[in-house]
Amino acid sequence: MTSSESILRGDRLALARLLTKVENDSPDGRATLIELFPHTGKAHLIGVTGAPGTGKSSLVNQLALHYRKAEDKRVAIVAVDPSSPFTGGAVLGDRVRMRDLSGDPNVFIRSMASRGSLGGLAQATANVVQVFDAAGFDIVIVETVGAGQSEVDIARLAHTTLVVEAPGLGDDIQAIKAGILEIADILVVNKADRPGVENTEKSLKSMLELAHPTTRVFKHHGTYMSMSMPESNQNANLWIPPIQKTVSTEGKGIPELVAAIARHVQHLRSSGDWTLRERTRLEVELEALIRDSLMTKFREDISSQQYEETLEKVIQRNISPWEAVRMLLNGRLK
Amino acid sequence: MTDKKIRVLVAKPGLDGHDRGAKVVARALRDAGMEVIYTGLRQTPEMIAEAALQEDVDVVGLSILSGAHMALTPRVLELLRSNGQMNVKVFIGGIIPDEDLSRLKELGVTGVYGPGASTEDIIRDIKIAMAG
């Protein structure tokens, strides 16, 4: 039986091993991804992001429990934690908060190290998500590294992005800065039993009232990609991110959060945004792949000696980097 | 970075609540460039084997200070094997009396480390086990 057949039949060991191959971008893993691609596009991808310590892992644990118990959905979780920039090693600790999910064959948790990627996800996260999608998981929850203000890759990957906040993490100026709050489809104020929750909720509310963009512009590896709302219903059917209060250690507010997620899916479907997001996601992925393969082709095409010589000229200030590019690409990629 | 990373599950089976040692080892393995999945306290052998499978680890490190190692270790090894993970190497750290060492090795444990063991030895032994 081929690897892809085993995955489609629900073999968990084959799935775990394929995830490793995909994470390492091995040729074997790539071949299986190609075979599995026609089976993707069915899962609902939920992104969970927010600052470290806001309770993302505990929230993911509760969401998954709810989807299992109340809706009998198969749930995969991809939990990304940072790699050390110095040694490349990582301690992946998100499972500590997810012990309630063990023993359930319809839950699969996979920890990933970011491996030098800076957008809050690892390079291979999108492909890992595709494998879970093909393997028949109804819901794939992606938990990003503890994110600050610019780790917004998740918004391109997920259908529904939850941004998790907690009381006491900054004033209302933080809330009007650009970045992570903007990507929220749903804002979650976790640890809502703590003092200061009213203030957090108030500043998020005022942030939402100040502005709501009708066009989303995504920056990906230096390229801006814009994703506008369908023109027909730009105002009529605008999604205003709701603010949901939760206490995930006690499971409070979880059914309400799940209901809000369901409303968001409905909105995506009825507004045409679902197709648009799928399109943007695949376009971004295609572009990244083209960039990778052009780079590989370029490296094959140019001897390292020629490359080093040109680099040396730039270092000596004999030529500028722009001229160097022109020289190196001369006659290629016409 | 496409080189294969060594993935290690560090787990604490049983009922003792001291995870300082496990955390020291987790941190040392991280600094040696490995990816360490840390699962926390009071794990059953079933939970450990399930995590080892989902994470497709190369190594399972068990920290046991309760004296229950002769009950917990065989169960973990058995579950790993029945899940098809014959390739996974198992290391134990904790309070392990000398007379249990040979029995543990017979069961298929790759390395056992007591109080005062150096993390450098653990890292070296893991790397040797991975290469072999």
Query: What is the domain-level CATH number for residue A142?
Result: 3.40.50.300
Our CA angle for A57, A44, A67, nearest 5°, is 55
Contact B30 A93 (CB under 8 A): no
Cβ–Cβ < 8 Å for A228, A215? yes
Count of domains for chain A:
1
Q: Which domain holds residue A78?
A: 40-277
Q: Report if residue A313 sits inside a domain.
A: no
First-to-last CA distance in chain A?
43
Beta-bridge partners for A244: A188
Nearest to A3 by CA among B110, A13, A14, A12: A14
Cβ–Cβ < 8 Å for A162, A49? yes
Cβ–Cβ < 8 Å for B131, B112? no
Q: Report if residue A242 sits inside a domain.
A: yes
Contact B27 A91 (CB under 8 A): yes
Nearest to B58 by CA among B85, B88, B20, B29: B88
Our CA angle for A147, A152, A156, nearest 5°, is 140
- Percent with pLDDT over 70 in chain A: 87
Evaluate whether ipTM surpasses 0.95. Answer: no
Distance CA B73, CA B92 (A): 9
Helices (H), A24-177: 27-36, 56-71, 125-134, 154-157, 172-176
Nearest to A65 by CA among A42, A43, A98: A98
- pLDDT band at A150, cuts 50/70/90? low
Contact A87 B46 (CB under 8 A): no
B79 at the A interface (CB within 8 A)?
A: no
B38 at the A interface (CB within 8 A)?
A: yes
Q: Report if residue B1 sits inside a domain.
A: no
B31 at the A interface (CB within 8 A)?
A: yes
Query: What pLDDT, on a 0 to 100 scale, did the predictor assign at position A2?
Result: 83
Q: Report if residue B99 sits inside a domain.
A: yes
Nearest CB to A91 within list B3, B38, B50: B38
Closest CA–CA distance from residue A139 to any residue of chain B (Å): 17
- pLDDT band at A303, cuts 50/70/90? confident
Closest CA–CA distance from residue B1 to any residue of chain A (Å): 7
| Interval A284-313 mean pLDDT | 88
- pLDDT band at A118, cuts 50/70/90? confident
A16 at the B interface (CB within 8 A)?
A: yes
A91 at the B interface (CB within 8 A)?
A: yes
Count of domains for chain B:
1
Q: Torsion angle of alpha carbons A10, A15, A18, A19, nearest 10°? A: 140
What is the three-class DSSP state of B37? strand
Please tell me the pTM assigned to this model: 0.88
Query: Amino acid identity of A234?
Result: Q
Residue A154 CA: distances (Å) to CA of A178, B27, B84: 15, 28, 34
Q: Which two tokens stand for residue B66?
A: 């309760």
Pairing of strands A75-81, A139-143: parallel
Q: Report if residue A3 sits inside a domain.
A: no
CATH code (residue B73): 3.40.50.280
Q: Which residues of B touch A110 (CB under 8 A)?
A: 54-55
Q: Which two tokens stand for residue B18?
A: 């001291």
Give A27-56 pLDDT, tens digit per residue. 999 999 999 999 999 999 999 998 888 999
pLDDT: is A188 or A293 the higher one? A188
Q: Which residues of A touch B7 (CB under 8 A)?
A: 20
Q: Report if residue B87 sits inside a domain.
A: yes
Q: Torsion angle of alpha carbons A72, A73, A78, A79, nearest 10°? A: -40
Cβ–Cβ < 8 Å for B39, B91? no
A17 at the B interface (CB within 8 A)?
A: yes
Closest CA–CA distance from residue A21 to any residue of chain B (Å): 9
Give B27-75 pLDDT, tens digit per residue. 999 999 999 999 988 999 999 999 999 999 999 999 999 889 999 999 9
Q: Which domain holds residue B54?
A: 7-131
Q: Report if residue B2 sits inside a domain.
A: no
Across the A:B interface, residue pairs with CB atoms under 8 Å apart total 83
